């Protein structure tokens, strides 16, 4: 079942990319495996998935332990400062840098290990009270500060759009994140890149690709509906 759904998502990504004259290879599919067991991840790996997204540190650490194949792990959920020490050095990319306090802790723990941690700055474009992330108008100032942190490498931006019936409703959100990335580029910070735009989930990844997403985070369209009753 995963194979079929994975093929479907991949072909939609391709089709959408061609539609807007983009190269599908510039779009990375992150398979969001949160709440799914390691066996499901193994099945996705067997079908060519290399990038997985998790939103809890503990679950991520358990899965890293149980999966022997060297895949790329993406932390996509809110990261508490006191948990940073458990994941530094284990992630391909942290998508959810949402406060300067968190940045300082990532800087500190990365320096301790002598590594540079790659992150995306999370932006709450829709300014939903229930969501994490900086406001659009804060981001340039935040980048100035992150630019000074030598053990953090900002690779781009991430946003979580609201759940909407009609994904078209999220188009302006994706467009605003793209525009913000262009504005940041113009500042020519030496330690800040905006190459990655992580936006779009099962419901709206096609719209996000049309608006410039380079990473889409897709869970249920690949793995089916999640069962939260077994968690937390």
In the complex, which residues of this chain contact ligand PLP (CB under 6 A)? 32, 34, 55, 76-77, 160, 201-203, 217-221
Q: What span, in angstroms and rounded, lies between the C-alpha atoms of 11 and 9?
A: 5
CB of 225 to ligand PLP, least distance (A): 8
Q: Which is nearer to ligand PLP, 136 or 221 (CB)?
A: 221
| Least distance in angstroms from the C-beta of 112 to ligand PLP | 27
Nearer to ligand PLP (CB atom), residue 139 or residue 160: 160
Mutual angle of helices 139-146 and 171-186, in 10-degree steps: 50
Q: State in angstroms the smallest separation of the CB of 113 from ligand PLP.
A: 25
Position closest to ligand PLP via CB: 219
Count the neighbouring beta carbons within 10 Å of the beta carbon of residue 100: 16
Q: Which is nearer to ligand PLP, 76 or 154 (CB)?
A: 76
Of 88 and 161, which CB lies nearer to ligand PLP in the complex structure? 161
Q: Is 130 exposed, middle or buried (0-12, 13-18, 19+ CB in 10 A)?
A: exposed
* Least distance from ligand PLP to the Cβ atom of residue 223, Å: 8
Nearest 10 degrees: Cα torsion 146, 116, 105, 37: 120
Residue 96 per-residue DSSP state: E
């Amino acid at each position: 079942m995963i194979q079929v759904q994975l093929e479907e998502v991949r072909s939609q990504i391709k089709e959408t990319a061609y539609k807007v004259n983009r190269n599908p290879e510039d779009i990375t599919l992150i398979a969001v495996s949160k709440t799914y067991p390691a066996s499901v991840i193994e099945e996705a790996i067997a079908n060519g998935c290399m990038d997985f997204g998790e939103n809890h540190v503990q679950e991520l650490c358990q899965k890293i332990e149980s999966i022997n194949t060297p895949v790329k792990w993406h932390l996509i959920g809110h990261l508490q400062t006191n948990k940073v020490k458990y994941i530094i050095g284990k992630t391909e990319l942290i998508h959810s840098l949402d406060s300067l306090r968190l940045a300082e802790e990532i800087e500190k723990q990365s320096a301790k290990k002598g590594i540079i941690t790659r992150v995306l700055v999370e932006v709450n474009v829709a300014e939903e009270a229930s969501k994490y992330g900086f406001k659009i108008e804060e981001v340039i100032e935040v980048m100035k500060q992150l630019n000074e942190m030598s053990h953090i490498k900002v690779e781009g931006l991430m946003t979580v759009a609201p759940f909407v019936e009609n994904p078209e409703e999220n188009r302006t959100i994706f467009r605003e994140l793209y525009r913000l990335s262009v504005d940041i580029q113009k500042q020519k910070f030496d330690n800040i890149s905006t190459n990655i735009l992580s936006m779009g989930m099962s419901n709206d990844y096609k719209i996000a690709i049309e608006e410039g997403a380079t990473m889409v985070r897709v869970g249920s369209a690949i793995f089916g509906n999640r069962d939260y009753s077994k968690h937390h």
